[in-house]
Amino acid sequence: NLEELLAQVRFNLVDKIASIAATGNAQGVHVHNRFFEVAQSCGYGVWRINGKDAYLHTGSSNLSDEDIEKKLEEGFAKSFHLFGILNLMREQIEVLIADRGYDGRKEEGYDPELYPHFTNLELFQSLSIKEAALRVIDEKTYQVLDIHWQIIKNTLLLKLSEEGFVDLSPEEATLLAGLSFSFDSKTLTTLIPHGDELAQCLMFFSEWTIAQKVALVNAYLKDKSTNEQKDILAILNNEAPQLTTQLKTQPQLQSIYFDIAIQEKEVAVVRAHIEQGADINAALSLLFSEAHKSDTLTWLHENKSLLAHITQDGMKVLIPNGKYQDKPVVEALVSTKKGRQLLLENPALQTLLPETIAHRSLADYLTQAAAERQGVNVLEGFFKKVDPLVTQFGQYIAYGDMATAEELLKANPLLLEKLLTEKITVTDYSRRKLKKKTGFQIALCAMDDEMCEMLAKYMSKDEVAHQYQELFPEGQDKHFEAQTPFDFSAIVDAITSSNDADVEKALDLELPNDTALWNKLEQFRADFTERSYQETVFNPQHLLKAYELYEKQFEDWNWNQRDLFWRQVIGYTQRFLPANIAMDFAQGLYYRVEQKEKSNHSLKFRFGEGAIFPLSFNFHSGLGYQYAVDAIGEGVRGVWRRRARRSFFKTHVEQKLQICKTYAALSKNENLRDGVK
């Protein structure tokens, strides 16, 4: 009956919460028993698993009963609301009828002698659902294909309300009755208290059209801040990724996804939104930032119609960081030749600018632009497009794909000089932009010794020397000696001073999260990303320092603090590894350094499923949020050892650096290894 079904749902939820706490614990059975003991005493309506467990606290002695009670409260607050309960009940019913032969939808139809075993379930009779109404029947063959889950869910919803299992306000009841066509944002927030319940609601109404689902999401997000909207959509992405893919295509939600893309600095996504009609002025401070200005100017040159949508106020917006920090967009525009040419080519754009910019007249800038144009090859111009084949070649190198890069060289013998000497701009997996570099220089920036060796086989000694000298005019030694690590002190202090609840909330990636610790983590991520994007050549000092701090704090921190630093500081730092070094992590630094294995040139983890790259950028998931990569080639949530394998990484970097430094010999007119022709 309904009451027994709800009891089983509560039991399953406590079991799930206990399982999370007991993950990786050899004494998990006792941890489970204790969670159920506390849950029963706190009135969760569950029964003890083993009331005579003599080792009840074994495996959970670090937790007080109050700690466990809080975990239960948080778990139920997340999952035990109206739609969450209904979906859990539906799952439990499916478990019950699976024992009677149910196996999901069958296009070939069920055996007529089989389906009555599960359509005659006593629960359905107690809910007054007629057997005939339950059957989903093929109109042509009259075969039973499935049972009508929406009828079951709707009946459960009605019964929960009628029999007083849920207490709805009159406004909530009215809203619920017309939820498929009418949405009141204020009442929605009380009926659906958070993003997890919104995901459950959309799951409950899975048969709705996409238009109905979009209307619900749009109404729910109304009047919420960008950060709140981002957190809610992150939950939807994790809980309903297929639906999220559909939501992103809906015009009604474009403005929200546009705002999020700006906040996340997803420039390609921002440009796509603008080309589809989004307000370009809202994104100008991002588009004209140091990292993206050059590409933006080329993009605007190719899409001149977009210039008509730029306003005077848009040109006055201040750029928040980087080379143009606190300067208006208009100053960034006139600061380079490409920007001045764009201005010269577009009289309408000139009307948006003031007469004086950065203590110079507009006329002066236009005169300068006209003079600059005289000295440029007309065929190439200021907006010359790089050969796509060269860009593709450079991208293979940035992604560490040595085999494909060499295949391209072999397939285009007449284009070798062009491929190996023309400079391109590419991005690596971390979205770090490598501007105006040759393929060989891209490999040097990534410390990709094997890629360098392969490319050098197709280059003259003079060309290798020239490109090396251009990147490292004073040699690699001086460059790496000048590298300094990121200052992790603020995030270390934040983790140290935070209470257990805040640390656990950050570990669980529970959103929304307004704690001081989470704000510090978000600031760390923003600051570290900005620092890494400013560094063209990979800086191993950041990760070495993070490992050092982990080892230093190991005894002073508890398990959760250590795990948080491991996953969201060390792991986040690993997001910025060059592809070739990321491959070594995925293979296992232990095996590369200690066992001296050759690189398998794969991003897939040695152990477990998945790969280190590509990364997830839209939401808080994957590397740097849920795990970091250990020395054995596996993404793990924490390590029990004091040492975080700093020595393996240090040795590996030194070995790569030593090999790359051999190219310095050519810049000093000395002989290089025999492999270079």
CA distance 619 to 622: 9
Q: How far apart are the first and last CA of the chain?
A: 81
Q: What is the mean pLDDT of residues 434-457?
A: 95
Per-residue pLDDT tens over the stretch 527-575 = 999 999 999 999 999 999 999 999 999 999 998 999 999 999 999 999 9
Same domain, 637 and 595: yes
Q: Residue 297's domain spans which residues?
A: 265-374
Q: What is the mean pLDDT of residues 582-598?
A: 94
Q: Which helix (H) or strand (E) holds 360?
A: strand 360-361
Query: Facing residues of 360 across strands?
Result: 357
CA distance 312 to 293: 18
Q: Which helix (H) or strand (E) holds 424?
A: strand 424-427
CA distance 667 to 468: 7
CA distance 91 to 203: 12
Q: Is 296 helix (H, G, I), strand (E, B) or coil?
A: helix
For residues 395 and 539, the answer to whether their CB atoms sit within 8 Å is no
- Phi, psi dihedral angles at 101 (to 5 degrees): 110, 0
Place of tokens 């990292």: 291
Amino acid at 277: G
Query: Which residue in 491, 488, 400 sits closest to 443, CA to CA?
Result: 400
The chain-wide mean pLDDT, for the chain, equals 89
| Residue 214 domain flag | yes
Same domain, 305 and 197: no
For residues 104 and 145, the answer to whether their CB atoms sit within 8 Å is no
CA 273 to chain centre: 19
Question: In the chain, count of helices (H) and strands (E)?
Answer: 40, 8
| Residue 411 domain flag | no
Query: Which residue in 251, 260, 192 sits closest to 226, CA to CA?
Result: 260
Query: Facing residues of 604 across strands?
Result: 611
| Residue 273 domain flag | yes
Residue percentage of the chain with pLDDT more than 90: 55
| Residue 470 domain flag | no
| Residue 195 domain flag | yes
For residues 233 and 244, the answer to whether their CB atoms sit within 8 Å is yes
Q: Is 611 helix (H, G, I), strand (E, B) or coil?
A: strand
642 confidence band (pLDDT: 50, 70, 90)? low
CA distance 388 to 405: 14
Same domain, 231 and 331: no
Residue where a domain terminates, one of 237, 259, 281: 259
Q: What is the mean pLDDT of residues 203-217?
A: 89
Per-residue pLDDT tens over the stretch 336-380 = 999 999 999 999 999 999 999 999 999 999 999 999 888 765 445
Same domain, 249 and 295: no
Place of tokens 């004209």: 288
Q: What is the pLDDT of residue 673?
A: 39
Q: What is the pLDDT of residue 672?
A: 41
Same domain, 117 and 73: no
Beta-carbon contacts of residue 110 (< 8 Å; ≥ 6 apart): 101, 143, 144, 145
CA distance 62 to 58: 9
| Residue 342 domain flag | yes
CA distance 301 to 161: 61
Same domain, 643 and 498: yes
- Give the long-range contacts of residues 516-524, CB within 8 A, separation 24 or more: 520/490, 520/491, 520/494, 521/491, 521/494, 521/568, 523/490, 524/488, 524/490, 524/491, 524/569, 524/572
Q: What is the DSSP letter of 326?
A: T
Same domain, 493 and 608: yes
Neighbouring CB atoms inside 10 A of 22's CB total 19
The C-alpha angle with vertex 671 and arms to 669 and 677, in degrees rounded to 5, equals: 110
HSE-CB at 354 with a 13 A cutoff on CA atoms is 13
In 138-254, where do the E strands start and end?
144-147
Query: Which of 605-641 are b and which e, b meaning 16 or more Cβ less than 10 Å from the residue's Cβ?
Result: bbeeeebbbebeebbbbbbbbbbbbbbbbbbbebbee
β-strand pairing of 360-361 with 433-437: unpaired
| Residue 43 domain flag | yes
Q: What is the mean pLDDT of residues 166-179?
A: 80
Same domain, 215 and 316: no
For residues 656 and 449, the answer to whether their CB atoms sit within 8 Å is yes
Per-residue pLDDT tens over the stretch 271-293 = 999 999 999 999 999 999 988 99
Same domain, 209 and 224: yes
For residues 530 and 321, the answer to whether their CB atoms sit within 8 Å is yes
Counting the structural domains of the chain, the total is 5
Per-residue pLDDT tens over the stretch 471-516 = 999 888 889 999 999 999 999 999 999 999 999 999 999 888 899 9
| Residue 434 domain flag | no
Same domain, 58 and 122: no
Residue where a domain terminates, one of 214, 232, 259: 259
Threshold 0.85, pTM exceeds: no
- pLDDT of 614 strictly over 50: yes
Neighbouring CB atoms inside 10 A of 456's CB total 25
Q: Is 328 helix (H, G, I), strand (E, B) or coil?
A: strand
Residue where a domain terminates, one of 259, 289, 306: 259
CA distance 331 to 288: 10
Rg (CA), the chain: 30
Burial class (CB in 10 A: 0-12, 13-18, 19+), 102: buried
- pLDDT of 667 strictly over 50: yes
Same domain, 239 and 326: no
Same domain, 498 and 637: yes
Query: Which of 410-420 are b and which e, b meaning 16 or more Cβ less than 10 Å from the residue's Cβ?
Result: eeeeebeeebb
DSSP 15-31: HHHHHHHHTT-TTHHHH
